[in-house]
């Protein structure tokens, strides 16, 4: 086969120089290089500040990193008790801060903001230009000469860059949608924090309540054990029959079951708290606090609570931002209905000297490629975006209806707990204890029956349980009301 010889196209270096020269000339003349450099990157977008639940409280005095400075997994904050050999006592503030730092669900929710920011970066990127090059009309089975003309061979290079993102505002609409996505993700994260803090506080007071109930069960067991010794002494002296010894044994068995039940309740409460704190392994934890109420706070009016909730609940803010996002998505889908416009410019080098006897020549071309939106005008995506907006509107209305019911229930529950504390006689518990002790002493002297002793003991237990439950209910309902409103109104 004859060797192909084309004048001016002796090596690849020449071809590379041609391509480089064309691209540099094109970018400098059209300003495309500057446009790409400035447009492909957008500034970091910061969502509108949204106050986090309990952010304004005394929790800020705890020496812990702020929420927006949560470390990544390679530098994970270790809980203060994670590697301890002995249980560490946690106050309520420390428990909440530990949950904010270590709870993996909060960290997972934080990643939604990062994903929304990544979508915003993608929305701001300018479409890449397309580079097309070819070499054509090359001799196949013989060389081209002046006497046996052909071709002439030519080298083409074309650059196509879409501009419809600028002409029809497609990129601007996408950026607006991305920003609204970041706003919505930030509000969703704030709501996740609110719910996790509320759950942590509830679990903390559950542990305090179960600890108090277990302590009461131990106290009852000890009192019955003392009572058993008194009865055994009286039986030995012939003061009472053995039936009373059997009866007290049955009460002791019942008290042991009560202790085991309370131990299981405490273990369950601690496990719920451990889960919220993000504790791994079998690391033991203890809580430090009290259920006592020094000065009960007065209940809040329903309408005032509802108004505050409308202003502070992050889930409502998230739905409102989702509605803004839905409106932005409609505009984006409508802009996508416009055609794709992609102008192009090219360079051609014809190698004519050997093929037809004329000097080699360079030329250029310009063109434009435009889609014709006759059938596909993005009707489906536009309709879907409008449906999403309607759906979000209905969800917002439904959430407001649910919120009023939730606020009403929380306000009434707290008012009931408040009334229980107000009408509760502070001396009632002491009176029940005195009755129990005096009845026990009288029985030891033969002045009371065992039934009266056990009845006095049972009355004391029920009074003490009510005392614990009322105070636990007060703290639970207070913090639940704050969580429902989305702000520490009562503290």
CA–CA separation, 170 and 173 (whole Å): 5
pLDDT digits (tens, 9 = 90+) for 280-296: 777 788 899 999 888 88
- Closest by CA to 323, choosing from 380, 271, 391, 246, is 391
pLDDT band per the 50, 70, 90 thresholds, residue 363: very high
Average pLDDT over residues 191-209: 94
Asked if residue 426 has pLDDT above 50, the reply is: yes
Domain edges within the chain:
77-127+172-338+381-485
pLDDT band per the 50, 70, 90 thresholds, residue 269: very high
pLDDT band per the 50, 70, 90 thresholds, residue 431: confident
pLDDT of residue 51: 65
- Higher pLDDT: 473 or 32? It is 473
Most confident of 19-28, 52-61, 316-325: 316-325
Integer angstrom CA distances of residue 322 from 107, 308, 318, 389: 22, 21, 6, 8
- Structure token digits, residue 288: 């430090």
Q: Report the percentage of the chain scoring pLDDT > 70.
A: 82
- Closest by CA to 40, choosing from 115, 96, 123, is 123
Average pLDDT over residues 391-417: 95
Asked if residue 206 has pLDDT above 70, the reply is: yes
Sign of the dihedral defined by the CA atoms of residues 234, 238, 243, 245, in that order: positive
Asked if residue 388 has pLDDT above 50, the reply is: yes
Asked if residue 8 has pLDDT above 50, the reply is: no
Q: Give me the CATH code for the 77-127+172-338+381-485 domain, please.
A: 1.20.1600.10
DSSP per position, 137-201: ---SSS---SSS-----EEEEEEE---HHHHS-HHHHHHHHHHHHHHHHHHHHHHHHHHHHHHHH
pLDDT of residue 151: 85
Pairing mode of beta strands 341-350, 154-160: antiparallel
Torsion-angle region of residue 169: left (phi > 0), alpha (psi -120 to 50) or beta? left
pLDDT of residue 223: 87
pLDDT of residue 6: 41
Under 8 Å CB-to-CB from 391, ≥6 apart: which residues?
A: none
Cis peptide before 41 (omega within 30 of 0): no
Average pLDDT over residues 215-233: 87
**In what order do the strands lie in the sheet containing 341-350?**
130-136, 154-160, 341-350, 361-370
Average pLDDT over residues 110-131: 94
The answer to whether 50 and 194 have CB atoms below 8 angstroms apart is no
- Higher pLDDT: 306 or 71? It is 306
- pTM for the model stands at 0.78
Kindly give the residue spans of alpha helices, DSSP state H, lying in 336-427.
353-356, 379-423
The answer to whether 184 and 370 have CB atoms below 8 angstroms apart is no
Asked if residue 10 has pLDDT above 80, the reply is: no
């Amino acid at each position: 086969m004859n060797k192909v010889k084309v004048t001016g196209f002796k090596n690849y270096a020449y071809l590379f120089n041609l391509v480089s020269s064309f691209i540099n000339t094109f970018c400098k003349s059209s300003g495309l290089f500057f446009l790409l450099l400035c447009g492909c990157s957008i500034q970091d977008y910061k969502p509108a500040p949204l106050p986090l639940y309990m952010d304004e409280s005394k929790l800020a005095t705890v020496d812990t990193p702020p929420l927006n400075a949560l470390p990544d997994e390679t530098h994970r904050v270790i809980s203060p008790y994670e590697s301890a050999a002995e249980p560490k006592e946690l106050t309520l503030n420390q428990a909440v801060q530990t949950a904010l730092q270590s709870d993996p669900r909060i960290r997972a929710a934080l990643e939604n903001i990062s994903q929304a920011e990544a979508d915003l970066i993608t929305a701001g990127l300018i479409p890449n230009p397309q580079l097309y090059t070819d070499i054509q009309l090359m001799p196949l089975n013989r060389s081209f000469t002046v006497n046996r003309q052909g071709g002439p061979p030519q080298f083409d290079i074309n650059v196509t860059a879409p501009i419809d993102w600028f002409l029809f505002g497609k990129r601007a609409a996408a950026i607006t949608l991305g920003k609204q996505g970041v706003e919505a993700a930030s509000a969703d994260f704030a709501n996740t924090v609110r719910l996790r803090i509320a759950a942590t506080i509830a679990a903390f007071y559950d542990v305090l309540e179960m600890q108090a109930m277990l302590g009461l069960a131990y106290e009852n067991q000890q009192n019955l054990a003392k009572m058993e010794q008194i009865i055994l002494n009286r039986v030995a002296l012939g003061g009472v029959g053995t039936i009373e010894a059997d009866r007290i044994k049955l009460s002791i068995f019942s008290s042991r079951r009560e202790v085991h039940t309370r131990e299981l309740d405490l273990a369950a409460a601690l496990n719920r708290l451990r889960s919220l704190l993000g504790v791994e392994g079998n690391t033991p934890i203890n809580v430090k606090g009290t259920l006592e109420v020094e000065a009960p706070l007065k209940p809040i009016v329903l309408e005032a609570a509802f108004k505050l909730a409308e202003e502070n609940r992050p889930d409502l803010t998230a739905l409102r931002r989702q509605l803004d996002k839905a409106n932005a998505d409609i505009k984006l889908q409508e802009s996508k209905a416009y055609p794709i416009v992609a102008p192009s410019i090219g360079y051609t080098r014809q190698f004519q000297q050997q093929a037809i006897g004329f000097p080699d020549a360079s030329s250029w071309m310009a063109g434009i490629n435009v889609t014709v939106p006759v059938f596909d005008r993005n009707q489906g995506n536009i309709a879907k975006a409008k449906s999403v907006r309607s759906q979000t509107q209905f969800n917002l209305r439904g959430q407001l209806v649910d919120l009023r019911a939730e606020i009403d229930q929380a306000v009434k529950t707290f008012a009931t707990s408040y009334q229980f504390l107000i009408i509760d006689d502070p001396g009632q518990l002491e009176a029940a204890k005195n009755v129990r002790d005096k009845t026990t002493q009288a029985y030891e002297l033969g002045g009371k029956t065992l039934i009266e002793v056990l009845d006095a003991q049972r009355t004391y237990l029920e009074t003490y349980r009510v005392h614990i439950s009322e105070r636990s209910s007060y703290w639970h309902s207070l913090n639940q009301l704050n969580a429902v409103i989305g702000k520490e109104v009562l503290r």
